Amino acid sequence: MKLKKGDSVIVVSGKNRGKQGKVLKSFPSQEKLVIEGVNLVKKKQRPKKSGQKGQVVEIAMPINVSNAMLFCSKCKKGVRVGAKITGDIKKRICRSCGVEI
């Protein structure tokens, strides 16, 4: 999986197509990502203490990795990810413009 926590991504397909956000969590074994502001669902939350009221909160749910692409700030679009090895260090690059991400 080439997308990591903290990456800026854009959603390519699904009901949230075109939305941008930062990866909050990644689940490599399931090939899923949680992106801020994307795939929000409403969840009812029970009161924690007696006397408090329950509430409805919006939570970002995971989407499949195949529905998101890394966002390149130079190209201003979703791009494929490549790798460049210099010495012992492996760095990710944008396939379109070659900028290090």
Structural domain of residue 39, as residue ranges? 8-94
CA distance 35 to 74: 21
Query: Does any domain span residue 29?
Result: yes
Helices and strands: H and E segment counts in the chain: 0, 10
- Render each residue's pLDDT in the chain as its tens digit; 101 residues: 899 999 999 999 999 999 999 999 999 999 999 999 999 999 999 998 888 899 999 999 999 999 999 999 999 999 999 999 999 999 999 999 989 98
Phi-psi region of 51 (alpha: psi -120 to 50; beta: other; left: phi over 0): left
Q: What are phi and psi of 11, to 5 degrees?
A: -85, 130
Number of domains in the chain: 1
Check which CATH number belongs to the domain holding 60 and give it.
2.30.30.30
Q: 3 lies in a domain?
A: no
